[in-house]
Amino acid sequence: MKLPESRIFAVTINIEVIILAIIFYIRQSLISQGGEKKQLNKSKLFILGKCISSLLATITCVSLSVLSVVTLEDHKKIHLIFSAFFFLSILLYFIVSDIIGKKVIFNVRTFSFLLPYLTIVIVIVYISIIYKIFGNSKKKMKNYGAIMQYIGSFLIFLKVMLVGYDLPPSSIVVGSLSHVKTK
């Protein structure tokens, strides 16, 4: 039986999932509002982009929640599968939502726009170099894999922080009694 302290990580990550879900909701709402203003809601490509980004946002939140609850010690394969789903889905979400966001009203800065691509390239290059240097040495690959995970996590966190600067000033009705202002 696990001690309560071992679940602190899962609880804090699930709080992060809630915060990410709110950020995704605000971003998707602003994309929809911008699409209405620019009359893009009838465009099949715009609708497809919104659907894909909504699906990726959902996959991101679910996979982050599952990988936090199912630890590496509990079930290694499930944890690593959902870890891969999380990293891939959040990077693809930012790529897709930045593209459709730029079509509407977002002022996505160049660094913010390129950051998901940069993260993917850094991960691929890093893994390739480490694999070439250390081959099949599991212990060293595990250590350097953890370092790569931290680098990738930092770059994703940086992109999430930059989202606030990319969003246009707007107000979104969350419920009948409250308003959320993005700026």
Q: Domain map of the chain by residue range?
A: 4-181
pLDDT single digits (tens) 13-55: 899 999 999 989 988 988 888 888 888 888 899 899 999 999 9
- pLDDT, residue 169, reads 67
Phi and psi dihedrals of 174, rounded to 5? -90, -40
CB of 96 within 8 A of CB of 31? Answer: no
Give the pLDDT band (50/70/90) at residue 181.
low
Greater confidence (160 vs 14) lies with 14
Total residue length of the chain: 183
Helix, strand and coil percent figures for the chain, each rounded to 5: 80, 5, 20
Pick the most confident of 8-17, 134-143, 156-165. 8-17
- What is the number of helices (H) and of strands (E) in the chain? 5, 2
Q: Could you tell me the pTM of the whole model? A: 0.80
Cα-based distances in Å from 76 to 58, 104, 117: 23, 42, 28
